[in-house]
Amino acid sequence: MGLPKFLNIFSLDFHERNHRLPLHSDGGNRETLVPENVNVPRNGIGRSFWSLLGLLTWKKNDGGSRTEEEEKVYSWLYALAQSNKDLVYEYVRSTERGLSFREAAQRLKDAGPNIPINFTFPKWWHLLWNSLFHPFNIILVVLSVMSYITSDEPNGSIMLVLVFISVSLRFYQEYSSSKAAMKLSEFVRCPIKVQRCAGRTVQTELVVQVDQCDVVPGDIIVFEPGDLFPGDVRLLTSKNLLVSQSSLTGEFGSTEKTADVREDASTPLLDLRNICFMGTSVVSGVGTGLVVSTGSKTYMSTIFSTTGKLQQPDDFERGIRHVSYVLIALILVVVTIIVLINYHASHDSSESIVFGISVASALTPQMLPLIINASLAKGALAMASKRCIVKSLSAIRDMGSMDIICIDKTGTLTKNTAIMIDYLDCWGTPKEKLLNYAFLHAYFKTQQKHPLDDAIMAYAYANNFRFQPSKWSKIDEIPFDFTRRRVSVILEPKILDISWNTYFRGRVLITKGALEEVVKLCSFVEDDDGTNLSTFTVQDNERILNISEKLSSNGLRLLGVAIKRLETVNIPGMVYDEQIESNMIFLGLLSFFDPPKDSAKQALWQLAERGVKAKVLAGDTLSLAISICKEVGIRTTHVATGPELEILDTGTFHETVKRATVLAKLTPTQKLRVVQSLQTEGNHIVGFLGDGVNDSLALDAANVGISVDSGASIAKDLADIILLEKDLNVLVAGVDQGRVTFGNTMKYIRISVLANLGSIISILIATIFFKYEPLTPKQLLVQNFLYNLGQTVIPWDKMEDSYVKTPQRWSLRGLAMFTLWNGPVCSLCDLTTLLFLWLYYKSNSSTSSHFFHSAWFIEGLLMQTLIIHLIRTEKIPFVEEVASWPVTLSTLVISSIGIAIPYTPLGNVMQLMPVPVSYFGFLVVLFLGYFTVGQLVKRAYLLVFKTWF
């Protein structure tokens, strides 16, 4: 058999140079870990700058095909699985004796330590810079510095405090989650028994213990129950070898492995019987194996190499950045115009610059970081009351946008318990004799107790069967192993019961295990009335097969039961004799069920009502997954399995993932590809609920990673949200809270854009029209401070039910259209005030500037304060919908303060004066007109765009 060219290159990499597979970033979901072998700038400035530029071209892996690194690993392992042992030795340049100590040391130097994923932590100042490098923070810092330069210390201090709060919260979140992927290092902290050869003249084979990180390709390892495989291993010898692959598959069953087989290319990778993978463990049996891959070249390293990568901003973050860029440009233009106009009128450059800074500060949504974090923190507290711990605050917002939730089956849809359903003979009839022997088997079995044994005894007790195990004594037990896939016990009655059939008297062997294995042992079967024995025929086998297929299609797990009378001389003590388990009598089969949770169906229905579709991503059989999904109301019209997905082309893969509601027998990589496909090709916001190491990839890649408190360490570290109870109802509450959080955040953004933009345009028009500032810098800053202070209660506002029932996404186009439609209403109100002051009060010169400033100050503050009630709902404010009491109280307090300031000593300091009562009559008419026009525009907007937010 020839060795492919790329395999030659692959094998040489281990020995000739320190070559590592490049770590790809597709599907990554963390910006807190830096891979050692990625060229990272030495400071956070360059990294942030280039990441900002990358926003325009970044595209996430769509999951439609395997990466180049995965293809290399797949091809390498398949080539080894299909080769004989002699050729495998040649591939990895080893011998039957193993490596010499000198050769092993050289390979360790060339290939590096056997560490699955080698990450280094970014320095704290990198994280701090990333937290600071946000456009709004930069704007506020620059404005604060300029305020100090122009001796405006109060405003500069306020802006610095806001920056400090925002940066501190983000830095804390990133630093807390920066060690997630390092949990994989747990797999390297164990000793490994390795066969090495020593001696200059005569080579002597020695078995020595080395740390897993010192294992190299070409080493021969010796393993026994409880050992972890230190790398990807091609088996050389094996005896009764049973391996747990739950770290990769999530399923708690064991997999049979054997060295005496050559696989073909049609076998799924994790089903290769002569290959064992790094991180999996030996359940039973012994053997030896040749290490063929270590470190970053192993299957585990390849599939988990995406964890902890630099996260690209989500739609919301990118949208905020785009808005900030627009505001920066607008600030520069407006401030430049205003400064030039004021300088031309007064020829005082310092005063013009101070006013320009004040305008820039007013145009900046200063409270945005605080509002966002306050909304998220409030949501986290609300979810904590539902026994849900939020690790990443931004995940709450993403839950509001989530429209697909991918969930596993066991423990999420089901109770993760075994319940016995029925006991049937080969004719499909319940037989008490069958249950009797199954009960005795479960009662006396002592080795490797299984939940199914408890289910059998619970069924007997619950149905008032009295099988009296005290009348029996245990003689021996033949434990489970992978070859037999069954357990046998030998019992003897203490008192002979004449009511039993003669062939059941005396010592009896009871065997229980996999149905197909038990059937192979049987030579006899009872007739339909259970009185006589007959030879086991092909017809009997077909009848049992039909019964089992029908039960399996309903999601039931099956066990077969058989018995045999034993003579005393046939008992060989504790040594297993194959002849004992032969020529047995088939009694029947037992069926078991993992029942669905009572709350699952209701929770899935509620999620569907909220526009969140559920997809089941399971690691076990398709028939079982379909059965459970039917029970909880998930449609199973379109289903698929991992092996089926593996052979699809990219386009068909995406279409299959889009349509399928149940996907079974998935590997960790396939779960990741499904999530990426839904995100990129389907443009969905995806949540993933998982609790195993095998779920880590999908948890990391999902927009919202959800795990449970009882899950694996790495799963909990990579998750954004941890459930203290694995209950889908918690997700329903999380979705609602996420949408309230998102909605209140969008309220502030839209209100700020409208109010600030409208006010600045009005100030620009007034400045041009009157040739002097409509507000002094101090008045403008106080007005802006009071307005922003009033908006801090927005996170405590409520959202309409119709809004919570729909997934919410950031839309830059939607924000732009919203501003274009509603912005002119604000400016119209300000211009009406301007004309009223000019025509009615003749306030059109610098001599009446104090009155004009006072009137404009009050109107502007009231406008910015009341606008929230018009914008926050698509209904008629104060009539059909009333804001929450914190928002209403804030409106009253801030409005009262704004009206009262001109009448107080503070008003004198600010150069404000009392306004006549007639002006307040005008304001009442003005705001009635404003709400009327605003409501008409709102109705027209709803007719065109169908939605308000």
Active site residues: 408
| Cα–Cα distance for residue pair 544/929, rounded to 1 Å | 82
Contact, 899 vs 858, CB < 8 A? yes
Q: Which two tokens stand for residue 168?
A: 């501190």
Residue 176: C-alpha distances to residues 124, 180, 319, 578 (Å): 11, 9, 26, 57
* Spatial separation of the C-alpha atoms in residues 551 and 874, rounded to whole Å: 54
DSSP string, 175-216: HHTTTSGGGGGGGG-SEEEEEEEE-SSS-EEEEEEEEGGG--
Q: Cα 430 to the chain's mean position, in Å?
A: 45
Output the six-digit token pair for 720: 């954004």
At 283, is the secondary structure helix, strand, or coil? strand
β-partners of residue 20 are none
Residues 6+ apart with CB under 8 A from 118: 35, 36, 37, 112, 295, 296
What span, in angstroms and rounded, lies between the C-alpha atoms of 530 and 563? Answer: 14
All residues at 6 or more sequence positions from 277 whose CB lies less than 8 Å from its CB, including other chains: 229, 232, 233, 245, 248, 270, 298, 299, 300
Side-chain-side CA neighbours of residue 461 (13 Å): 10
Q: Distance between CA 859 and CA 866 in Å, rounded?
A: 10
Catalogue the long-range contacts made by 516-521 (C-beta closer than 8 Å, 24 or more residues apart). Answer: 516/560, 517/484, 517/485, 517/486, 517/560, 518/486, 518/559, 518/560, 518/561, 518/562, 518/584, 518/586, 519/544, 519/560, 519/586, 521/562, 521/581, 521/582, 521/583, 521/584
Structure tokens at 843: 């306030």
What gap in Å lies between CA 906 and CA 429, rounded to an integer?
Answer: 93
**Would you give the end-to-end CA distance of the chain in angstroms?**
65
The three-point CA angle 241-243-249 to 5° equals 155
Tokens of 870: 């018009």
DSSP state of 901: G
Q: Which are the contacts of 82, defined by CB distance < 8 A and separation ≥ 6?
A: 1, 262, 263, 264, 265
Q: Where are the alpha helices (DSSP H) in 499-621?
A: 515-521, 538-553, 598-609
Can you list the alpha helix ranges (DSSP code H) found in 364-502?
368-384, 394-401, 432-444, 451-462
Query: Residue 538 corresponds to which amino acid?
Result: V
Q: Are 290 and 238 in contact (CB under 8 A)?
A: no
CA-to-CA distance for 602 and 367, rounded, in angstroms?
39
Burial zone of 19 (CB within 10 Å; 0-12 exposed, 13-18 middle, 19+ buried): middle
Instruction: Considering only the C-alpha atoms of the chain, give the largest distance between any 2 of them, rounded to a whole number of Å.
Output: 124
CB 361 within 8 A of CB 156: no
Asked if residues 290 and 222 have their Cβ atoms less than 8 Å apart, the reply is no
Q: Which helix (H) or strand (E) is 895 found in, with range?
A: helix 885-900
Burial 626-643 (b: 16+ CB within 10 A, else e): bbbbebbebebeebbbbb
Residue type, 905: P
